[in-house]
Amino acid sequence: MNAFLLGATGLVGSHLLQQLLASDRYQHVVAPVRRSTGIDDERLIEVPFDASNVDTWTPPVDLDHAFVAFGTTRKAAGGINNQRLIDLEMPRHYARRLRALGVRHISLCSALGADHESSNAYSAMKGQLEEDIRMMGFPSFATFRPSVLGGHRPGSPRPTEAWAQRAMAWLPRSLRTIPAERVAAAMLRVAGEEPAGMTIVRNAQIFDLSSHA
């Protein structure tokens, strides 16, 4: 099979890329990027990230599974409207195109509390993306709702996030900080199972799935 990965240079996405390339399940991994991942592997196909022309984009190989681990913070984006463009609209464009291309399974790294009816702007954004992808009718769609992600994020440091990682490490598993590589492992495992319809995988379940990955 061949995989598509949106967000290959991010915290979860970089772990996903490593695990996808380590798996014997996939012949190629196609990754839209603004900057190279720096990984030299003949199975990795980096393509230019261009959200404005997604509707006509044709992948270099046929795609079977897709993984979306793409997003930013309001501060980094420069406001809620810009964050909405990155966290919601860009992934939605790619997902719609992937559905048209016949991708069978899509995995989304969402967030704890995602709910399109939430009064919290971030939770509503994440929930809206889930709902939009659900309505696209992928044969198999899994959304993962991790708590605070643990690990070193590429790019500039985020002091508030680092504090939250430490503070939430002692909470019950439903809320506890979860290492990014475990989220990636759970996404890869569920993709291999291709559960029919929409599957919601919460934080405690991510711990369970990744412990057997």
Banded model confidence at residue 74, pLDDT cuts 50, 70, 90: confident
Distance CA 174, CA 180 (A): 15
Q: How many domains does the chain have?
A: 1
With 60 as the cut, is the pLDDT of residue 203 above it? yes
For residue 113, what are its two tokens? 């509390």
In the chain, pLDDT over 90 holds for what percent of residues? 74
Domain membership of residue 13 as a residue range: 2-211
- What is the model's pLDDT at position 154? 54
Domain harbouring 194, CATH code: 3.40.50.720
Banded model confidence at residue 66, pLDDT cuts 50, 70, 90: very high
Torsion of Cα atoms, 33 then 125 then 93 then 86, to 10°: -30
According to DSSP, the residues that pair with 32 across neighbouring strands are 47
Output the average pLDDT for the chain. Answer: 90
Vertex 154: Cα angle to 21 and 71 (nearest 5): 85
Vertex 210: Cα angle to 20 and 190 (nearest 5): 60
- What is the model's pLDDT at position 163? 52
- What is the model's pLDDT at position 75? 83
CA 49 remoteness from chain centre: 15
